[in-house]
Amino acid sequence: MGMEREIKLALPPAQVQAATQWFVARTGAQGGPIKLVNIYFDTPELMLASSKSALRLRQTPDGWLQTFKTVGKSENGMHTRHEWEIPVAGEKLEIDALLRECDEPSAADALRQAAPELIELFRTNFTRTLWHVQADGSEVEAAIDQGEVFAEVDGEARRAPISEVELELKSGDEAALHTLAAELGKQIAGLAPDDISKAQRGYQLRAG
């Protein structure tokens, strides 16, 4: 079982260039933009959301991944949650493989019960620009995400923007995330902690 630890910060669109320049200066690298297509699944009755979990397929330049997460907890932009992620052959869930990986009994039970009724609910399509940052002896993956959440509800296309910074701990101490977020906040006006995940934004969009 993996434990994901990250700080999410809402980034005003007018400040994207300033944040990009800050990361370039901080790392000495231009950053690598990649396009990500993410498809989220649940049952029509939202069984996974009710069990505080989320399931997605992600298309990356290297292929498809399926990811199962618990909602976990979030406070002041700091998100901590269980996560299981494995590659798949294509644009199709492989639930049995996820169940073999998932070692959280309640989460596994929720996924097993939901599996026969899963449907696509919404998508998050965005460009992610990545940097690897050293802070306090720890390694942090920093990302600027720009794109949108998309859902089709009763024939109506609904969209909401995505503009955020994510700081994910790859190795070392969690304190490095707070150090880096504080550094960035001093330079980028309007940057704010964000406790709402992309999955939660998708559910909110569907609910109107």
**Which residues in the chain come in under a pLDDT of 70?**
1
Q: What's the pLDDT score for residue 12? A: 97
Specify if 36 maps to a domain.
yes
Q: What's the pLDDT score for residue 80? A: 79
Specify if 203 maps to a domain.
no
Which burial class, exposed, middle or buried, applies to 151 when counting CB atoms under 10 A from its CB (0-12, 13-18, 19+)? buried
Calpha distance 45→23 (Å, rounded) = 42
Q: What's the pLDDT score for residue 30? A: 93
Specify if 206 maps to a domain.
no
Specify if 75 maps to a domain.
yes
Judge whether 151 and 120 are in contact, CB under 8 Å: no
Domain that holds residue 98: 2-197
Q: Looking at residue 66, which CATH number applies to its domain?
A: 2.40.320.10
Q: What's the pLDDT score for residue 184? A: 95
Cα Rg for the chain, rounded, in angstroms? 17
Specify if 91 maps to a domain.
yes
Specify if 30 maps to a domain.
yes
Q: What's the pLDDT score for residue 108? A: 94
Specify if 90 maps to a domain.
yes
Q: What's the pLDDT score for residue 24? A: 97
Specify if 81 maps to a domain.
yes
**How many domains does one find in the chain?**
1
Q: What's the pLDDT score for residue 73? A: 72
